[in-house]
Amino acid sequence: MPASPQTAPTQVPPKRTGIFVELDKFWNRVTEGLQLNQLWSQFKSDARASYRLYSRDFQAHTPERNWRHNFLRTFQEFCWAILEKLSPARRVLLLAGVLLLIIPGGGFSYHGKNGAVEVAELDFHFSGGVLIFVVLMLEVADRVVMKRDLEIARDIQTWLLPAAPPQVPGLVVAFATRPANTVAGDYYDVFRRPTATGEERFLLAVADVAGKSIPAALLMATFQASLRTLSVTPCSLAELVSGMNQYACTNSQSGLRFTTALIGEFDPLSRSLIYINAGHNTPMLRRKNGAVERLTLGGLPLGIQTPHDYETGTAVLGSGDVLVIFTDGLPEAENEHSEEYGETRLQIVLNATAAQAPGEILRQIMRDVDAFVATTPQHDDITCMVVKVT
């Protein structure tokens, strides 16, 4: 019989012990298990976000025609943009630390008690590094406190928004939101509205407060409160939106903090949607036969002008129709070449998935946006609501 081939012994990698194990633990704790390519992508994302933050300031102080051709002027304004983010005391500490790092080391000699010449070396670099480290620790402490407050604000905002879509006769609803920061200025909601005759109506709302983060989130909360409060009062949709506009104008800083919104009232019996588009991105209503309509009627964004009359539009919905309502963060999402996702791509995805359930349509839209932007950091809140008629 031929000899059976021998199997080569399996090579078992040696176990790391001692200092190597501790170094692995330390590295994993620092990186939270991220690979080098993930760390590099995160660094690039942070660097771009920081550059946008500082560049807005130094470009505001330096005319466009000058800063591109004057490196010294650009560097000076960029340094001021960084310093102005610090308190005066921390600016002094940072400048002192940088100065000590720049000053070359030196020394001096003197005669000791026994007459011998003693030489004392002076190294300012260590002191400079300590001062910069102190500034870093102070900034990290502020960041930790702010992060904790933002997490609390995020929890409150999550509580204000619906966790799951309600049951609406004749409709299936799905929605998703992605804040650019910890908290967002986007708002979405679907809820039952009482009427004077006792008939059942449902309000659908998607809104976008100008700006991002804490200021936008605070105004989003006031928008939610005013919508919920005023919708209890029996009135037409136009009167409801006019009342919200009047309230928004009292909190908009002379129109600087306006809010775009699409607010609709759905009647399950007639399957009609009365809507007002207050300066919002025009939603896409894809009919079952493939035709696409846009909901354009309305008026100015809320908080710009009062009094202001809003025009109402009506869309009679049929079985198989799909309505997509979104904020500007979706079509304006950019890739690494500064190209926008655009509404054309959104419509292509909608046409390809219109036969599917709203939840799957929404997932395909968000996946397509993710594939388009890749690793480019998100610069605006993204909210999308998909409504399908059963």
Residue 115 has pLDDT above 70, yes or no: no
Helical residues (DSSP H) of the chain, grouped into ranges:
19-31, 36-61, 64-67, 71-83, 88-102, 124-160, 213-230, 237-249, 342-353, 358-373
Provide the b/e sequence for 319-349 (b: ≥16 CB within 10 Å): eebbbbbbbbbbbebbeeeeeebebebbeeb
Fold topology of 162-389: Phosphatase 2c; domain 1 (3.60.40)
Report DSSP state, residue 115: S
Residue ranges covered by each domain of the chain: 19-105+121-154, 162-389
Residue 1: what residue type? M
Residue 82 has pLDDT above 60, yes or no: yes
Residue 352 has pLDDT above 60, yes or no: yes
Say whether 58 sits in a helix, a strand or coil: helix
- Structural tokens at position 389: 């008629």
The CA R_g of the chain, rounded to the nearest whole Å, is 30
Average predicted confidence (pLDDT) for the chain: 85
pLDDT at site 159: 82
Which of 99-108, 129-138, 244-253 is predicted most confidently?
129-138
The residue written with tokens 């799951």 in the block is 164
Residue 63 has pLDDT above 60, yes or no: no
Find the angle CA(250)-CA(254)-CA(257) to the nearest 5 degrees: 80
More confident residue, 285 or 219: 285
Distances from the Cα of 239 to the Cαs of 71, 141, 251, 307, 309, in angstroms?
56, 48, 19, 11, 9
More confident residue, 281 or 80: 281
16 band by pLDDT with thresholds 50, 70 and 90: low
How far apart are the C-alpha atoms of 237 and 350, rounded to whole Å? Answer: 28
Among the residue ranges 25-34, 199-208, 250-259, the one predicted with the least confidence is: 250-259
How far apart are the C-alpha atoms of 135 and 88, rounded to whole Å? Answer: 12
pLDDT at site 26: 84
How far apart are the C-alpha atoms of 278 and 259, rounded to whole Å? Answer: 8
Residue 282 has pLDDT above 90, yes or no: yes
Residue 6 has pLDDT above 60, yes or no: no
Residue 112 has pLDDT above 70, yes or no: no
pLDDT at site 329: 94
User: If you count them, how many residues does the chain have?
Assistant: 390
The per-residue pLDDT for range 159-206, each reduced to its tens digit, is: 888 888 889 999 999 999 998 888 888 999 999 997 767 788 999 999
Residue 98 has pLDDT above 80, yes or no: yes
- Structural tokens at position 119: 């030489």
The per-residue pLDDT for range 301-344, each reduced to its tens digit, is: 999 988 889 999 999 999 999 999 999 999 999 998 889 999 99
pLDDT at site 7: 53
Half-sphere exposure (CA, 13 Å, Cβ side) for 103? 17
Residue 114 has pLDDT above 70, yes or no: no
Half-sphere exposure (CA, 13 Å, Cβ side) for 126? 3
pLDDT at site 121: 65
pLDDT at site 1: 47
Half-sphere exposure (CA, 13 Å, Cβ side) for 296? 3
> What does the pLDDT average to over 121-142?
85
Say whether 316 sits in a helix, a strand or coil: strand
